[in-house]
Amino acid sequence: MTERNNHYAHKIVAIVPVFNEAACVEAVIREVDKSIPGVEVVVIDDGSTDNSAQVAQAAQASVIILPYNLGIGGAVQTGYLFASEMEYDFAVRLDGDGQHNPTQLSALLDPLILGQADVIVGSRYLQGRKFRVSWSRSIGVKVFAAMVSLITGQRFTDTTSGFQAANRAAVQFLAQHLPSDYPEIEGLVLLCRAGFRVKEVPVTMRPRVAGQSSITLFRSVYYVFKVSLALLIGLLQPPPKRIYHDGPR
Amino acid sequence: MARVELVAILGSLTLLVSILELVRRKQLGAGYALLWLLTALALLILSMWRDLLDVLAHLVGIFYPPTALFVVGFGFLLIILLQFSVVISRLSQENKKLAQRIGLLDWKLRQIHSDETAETQPNAEQDAI
């Protein structure tokens, strides 16, 4: 890259789904603001029972309050609907718990701005990046990566990463078709099948600040089973067609 | 008439009358009533018409004909359950879209409201002067 990309020239929205994330969401909003000048942060409050929405509002984010908990897929899709209807050029998506480091957002956005891809996924495991996980979890990671790579014919390393960026065409597609159950992994397959160019870039994620990961061996085996089934069922369905409403440039 | 036949006839008649009554009270929609009515009618016909049940049982290789009644009932129930799953899937999809739309509209409404208060604030000051 010879020249620095000017983020000011594009309308960029950052989608932050939150569910009872009052302790972390403010810091996330501030960091995103600092990392991408002129970004619009839209927080999707997925039926939180704490004051996440008020905290986000006080931090100058646009807050969409869902009437009840839709789960991560439904919440993120609301963000894509917002981005699509408000005609943003690019949308980035990051978790409200601070796991995704906003300083790495330009690594996700730059290839999109240069037109090298339609969707960029931040991968924890690409190019020898070390992210400590329990071995029960690492089996799941490898199984999913192998399955998605097999189905799409393209190598993927981190299929459950919610640290992503998408251009307008992909945003419009995801606003209509983002799967509800396992949005990251099923979404990757769907995007590839619909002909979008999806690329991974290496990122480092921070360990979760609060809360305990609930993954045990039994749960991860069961999870792998459920997701595999969902992927296979998804393959029975014809891939949705990509639509293009190219707005004014 | 064997006791088992009597019980079967009474049972399917009760089902049929219940369905008709539910439809009459508008507690069961026409879309769902159709499958239920077919189920009740099939069971009633097979319980009253012993010869038909015997032929049916013989055709599929069931030795004790009243068992065929269970098989037919079970088949209909499976179809009804499948219909339920289809309807539930559609409802949850629509429900999700509705919740997302409410969220977006609610945001727009708050946006309009805050724009209005921003506009009326200076006017209020002018009025005071």
Minimal-distance CA residue of chain B relative to A181 = B93
pLDDT number for residue A2: 36
Tell me how far apart the alpha carbons of residues A27 and A95 are, in angstroms, rounded to a whole number: 12
Q: pLDDT tens for residues B19-63?
A: 999 999 999 988 889 999 999 999 999 999 888 988 888 888 888
Q: pLDDT tens for residues A171-183?
A: 999 999 999 889 9
Chain B: nearest CA to A203, how far in angstroms?
Answer: 30
Count of A-B CB contacts under 8 Å: 34
Kindly report the number of other CB atoms within 10 A of residue A82's CB atom: 24
ipTM of the complex: 0.86
Q: Give whole-number Cα distances, A202 to A94, A160, B64, B87, in Å.
A: 15, 14, 68, 43
> Among positive and negative, which fits the CA dihedral A180, A183, A186, A189?
positive
Tell me how far apart the alpha carbons of residues A135 and A142 are, in angstroms, rounded to a whole number: 10
Q: Which among A65, A70, A180 is the nearest to B106, CB-wise?
A: A65
CB A12 within 8 A of CB A90: yes
Chain A interface, best mutation among B95, B100, B106, by max A CB count within 10 A: B100
Q: Could you tell me the pLDDT band of residue A89, with boundaries at 50, 70 and 90?
A: very high
Helix (H) or strand (E) holding A44: strand A40-45
Kindly report the number of other CB atoms within 10 A of residue A239's CB atom: 15
Chain A: nearest CA to B82, how far in angstroms?
Answer: 17
Burial of A62 (0-12, 13-18, 19+ CB in 10 A): middle
The pTM (predicted TM-score) of the whole model is: 0.84
Q: pLDDT tens for residues A144-169?
A: 999 999 999 999 999 989 999 999 99
Chain A: nearest CA to B81, how far in angstroms?
Answer: 20
